[in-house]
Amino acid sequence: MAATALKEQLNGLVNSMFAEGLLDEQFQQLQMLQDGSNPGFVAEVVTLFCEDSERILADLTKLMDQAVVDYSKVDAYVHQLKGSSSSVGTQNVKLACIQFRQFCEENNQEGCMRALNVVKHEYYHLRSKFETMLQLENRIQAYETKQQN
Amino acid sequence: MMSLAREGSQGGRELHVLAVDDSSVDLAVIARLLRSSKHRVTTVDSGKRALELLDLEPNVNMIITDYWMPEMTGYDLLKKIKESSTLKEIPVVIMSSENVPNRISRCLEEGAEDFLLKPVRPSDVSRVCSRVM
């Protein structure tokens, strides 16, 4: 059955994301909160996380482009991103944010620039996996709805 | 004034919880955690909005708020609630992603019911809701 094959593909993708360190056990907690009464919960949280992250990364880029960098503002944004990545279980993004905050504490401009690039790299890598994940979920949902009707 | 929790449809106690967090991600997660335990949840994204809502809708059994929010922190919100004759009996739980002992003791001394470290787990939610019920 097509839905079974898609589910296997989805499980394979998510498992590989755990194996690669993109996700940690907090993501499993979110998966456990998804059920028949709330089938779109993981998709909802992932979508909110991506929207938040892109807004924060855009703001961080502007702040780091300033002639004089306000490290307390940069740190506040990185703290936000670290928080939401921790809540979603996006491990590599969280770890990159922790590194970034250390450079903020030192007022290390070069370190912060490098760290920002690392966070962006980790985030965009994760985002492409999340996009595939959500596409697969939507296709599975579409098959299952069709079967019920 | 604290309203009594309602009897839920399956015989358990249903609390009305006000969740306060400026992070949309964290708000979605805490709301889901509470709703999966069959509690009614209202969400707002700031302390200011929380106070506005409490003015209109005093039938809240518990408030769960992030500590670090712009303009009004969770600690500031806690203080305002404990200073209010109509709201002071409502239990307030603080959440934070940072384990700062001074912060925790300050909140507990100000009357917080509990202090949870993020990411919040289902067991944390069960614990605080059981105490309130």
Per CB-CB distance under 8 Å, the chain B contacts of A87 are: 23, 25-26, 29, 118-119
Q: Measured between beta carbons, which residues in chain B are less than 8 angstroms from residue A53? A: none
The CATH number of the domain holding residue B78 is 3.40.50.2300
Give the range of the structural domain holding residue A94, as residue numbers without chain letter.
41-148
Instruction: Give a yes or no: residue A52 inside a domain.
Output: yes
Closest residue in chain B to residue A86, using alpha carbons only? B119
Residue A12 lies in a domain: no
Beta-carbon separation of B36 and A48 below 8 A? no
Q: Which domain holds residue B21?
A: 3-127
Is residue B107 domain-resident? yes
Q: Evaluate whether residue B49 is within a structural domain.
A: yes
Least confident among A5-9, A22-26, A34-38: A34-38
CATH code of A127's domain: 1.20.120.160
Residue B104 counted as domain residue: yes
Query: Which residue among A33, A38, A84 sits closest to B23, beta carbon to beta carbon?
Result: A84
For chain A, the average pLDDT equals 95
Residue B81 lies in a domain: yes
For the stretch B28-45, pLDDT in tens is: 999 999 999 999 999 999
Q: Is residue A104 included in any domain, yes or no?
A: yes
Asked if pLDDT for residue B5 goes beyond 80, the answer is: no
The reported pTM is 0.90
| Least CB–CB distance from B97: residue in A29, A30, A83 | A83
Total domain count, chain A = 1
Q: Answer whether residue A24 is part of any domain.
A: no
A63-93 pLDDT per residue, tens: 999 999 999 999 999 999 999 999 999 999 9
- When divided into structural domains, chain B yields a total of 1
Residues A83, B24: C-beta atoms closer than 8 Å: no
Q: Which long-range contacts (CB under 8 A, 24 or more apart) does A122-127 make?
A: A122/A92, A122/A93, A122/A96, A123/A53, A123/A57, A123/A93, A125/A22, A125/A92, A126/A17, A126/A22, A126/A90, A126/A92, A126/A93, A127/A50, A127/A53
CA–CA dist A83, A106 (Å, integer): 21
- A70, with CB counted inside 10 A (0-12, 13-18, 19+), is exposed
Examine residue B133 and state whether it is found in any structural domain, yes or no: no
